Amino acid sequence: MSKLLTTSSLAAAMLLCLSHSASAQLRTERSLSSTHPDWPVAELSPDQRAERATRIRDAAAQVGMHNAVLLAGIGQVETGFAHCWSEATWACQGPPSSSCDGGPVIAGAADGPCSLEQGGLGMFQFDSGTFSQTIATYGADIVTIEGNVGAVVPFLVTRAIQSIDGVTNEQEALDWMNSIPIDANDPLFQQWIYFVSWRYNGCQGCSAQEGKYRDGTLLLQDEMGPDFWANGAEDLCTTIPAAGRTIEEDDLCYRARGPQQFWRDVPSGHGGALQWTMTTDNAEPSNSGVWRLRFEEAGSYEVKVFSDGGEFGMSKQAPYVVSYAGGSETVTVDQSGTAGWISLGVFDFDTGDGYQVRLDDNTGEALVDGADGTKLMFDALRVAPPGSEEPDPGNPDPEPDPEMDGGNVVGLCAISQSGPTGAWPLLFALFLIRRRKFLRA
């Protein structure tokens, strides 16, 4: 049974992208910059561009991306670094956004008349059909700068896992992106440019498109300076002290990913709140929960997860993947069998970042609508020295940033001045969205 959106809206969007390509080209040709023919015009002052770059850099840091100039280069190519319609009035007006002082976010101009309310939203052009469908899929925060950034990083992570040799998981994908030097002559940078042109824009081996992303990235590197991009915001994911700590589902070290309309928040579980979604037996995961682990001291720690024993934790084969100093291990848990803490085992961790626990919804338990479906529970995770006493069920950790989101899919029709992003990403998206929800990130 399909768990995601039906393919009809995506097929319609695909047809619109293709059928309106000629008119879109006429529209966008009038909007090209006189100083660089490959970038859209955006009415942004130097101070506004600096503020935009800061928000991209700081939002990216919160999801483990510390080389955010790579994202800025994409934004330069897609919208001329615009996020709000007021900065690029040749585009369509999208829904209101707090990032635009309540005014409309920029919306793609390549999907036909603006009255259809279709096209990608925001700087990174997320699109699942109409504006309302896009917001339903990725959450209301997708119209904010932070929401766009929070969605584009997992998208790139997913594609890196699928495309880059030696990248097999989220942390390796982030490590790869964070290691890329901004140097046109460096092979790793050239690999990135080839990758983003292919996997983001859908144009594999297209030298002209690669040139746009290369020049856009180099522009932002030079404009803001290497020190600016290196001095990102403090990571708000709190480190785990030697005595251990509990990471709730509303913690800044936890992120729910996948289409927002398939997440449910209920006032139950550890600390009085939990999330759940339905299981699937699909080959690839879609909605996922990731608990980031950052350690103050290296050592052996026991990792436990909390379940309510069957009300919302109904899965009998929940696959928790623990990454640790020695590699990664999948631990299968019967959430319905225990009301309380369930140990995943004792693992060694080094000081610092780079570790996580991940739970995907493709448990092997088929999706069934209604009361007969199997709920998968996402709640507190405890990391502490073996044998430690369990803490009070309250949550003393800081509140999450409400503008950070975990959407995961790039749009079908980007606002890039070359028009639609090409048939490959459209067909690939149609393949993925045969389910009710998706993501492998």
What residues contact residue 59 under an 8 Å CB cut-off, 6+ apart?
145, 146, 149, 150, 404
321 and 216 belong to one structural domain: no
Residues 34 and 174 placed together within one structural domain of the fold: yes
pLDDT for 37 equals 64
Q: Has residue 270 been placed in a domain?
A: yes
Domain membership flag for residue 278: yes
CATH number of the domain to which 322 belongs: 2.60.120.260
Q: What is the pLDDT of residue 36?
A: 62
CA distance 127 to 122: 10
pLDDT at 73 over 50: yes
Range of the domain at 165: 7-234+404-432
Q: What are phi and psi of 319, to 5 degrees?
A: -95, 95
One domain for residues 361 and 424: no
pLDDT given at position 260: 74
Based on the fold, state whether residues 225 and 254 are members of the same structural domain.
no
Residues 191 and 257 occupy one common structural domain: no
Q: How many CA atoms lie within 13 A of 46 on its CB side?
A: 4
Residues 313, 184: one domain? no
Same domain, 181 and 42: yes
Instruction: Say yes or no: 56 and 75 in one domain.
Output: yes
Handedness of CA 386, 387, 393, 395 (dihedral sign): negative
Q: DSSP secondary-structure letter at 37?
A: T
Q: Are residues 355 and 284 in the same domain?
A: yes
230-243 mean pLDDT? 82
Based on the fold, state whether residues 51 and 151 are members of the same structural domain: yes
Give me the mean pLDDT over the 111-121 stretch: 89
User: Does pLDDT of 288 surpass 50?
Assistant: yes
Decide if 313 contacts 303 (C-beta within 8 A).
no
Q: H or E stretch including 205?
A: none
Answer whether residue 122 is part of any domain.
yes
Q: Do 214 and 342 belong together in one domain?
A: no
CB 376 within 8 A of CB 363: yes
pLDDT in tens, 314-338: 999 999 999 999 889 999 999 999 9
**Distance of alpha carbon 67 from alpha carbon 361, whole angstroms:** 29
Residue 305 has pLDDT above 50, yes or no: yes
Burial (CB count within 10 angstroms: exposed 0-12, middle 13-18, buried 19+), residue 5: buried
First-to-last C-alpha distance (Å) of the chain = 22
- In whole angstroms, give the CA distance from residue 42 to residue 251: 36
Q: Is the pLDDT of residue 258 over 70?
A: yes
Residue 438 located in a structural domain: no
Q: Are residues 218 and 341 in the same domain?
A: no
Instruction: Give the integer Cα–Cα distance in Å for 389 and 410.
Output: 44
The per-residue pLDDT for range 383-406, each reduced to its tens digit, is 999 988 776 554 434 344 433 333
Concatenated DSSP letters of 287-347 = SEEEEEEEESS-EEEEEEEEEESSSS---SSEEEEEEETTEEEEEEE-GGG-EEEEEEEEE
pTM: 0.64
DSSP 136-179: HHH-GGGGSHHHHHHHHHHHHHHHHHHHSTT--SHHHHHHHHHT
* 361-380 pLDDT per residue, tens: 999 999 887 777 899 999 99
Counted domains in the chain: 2
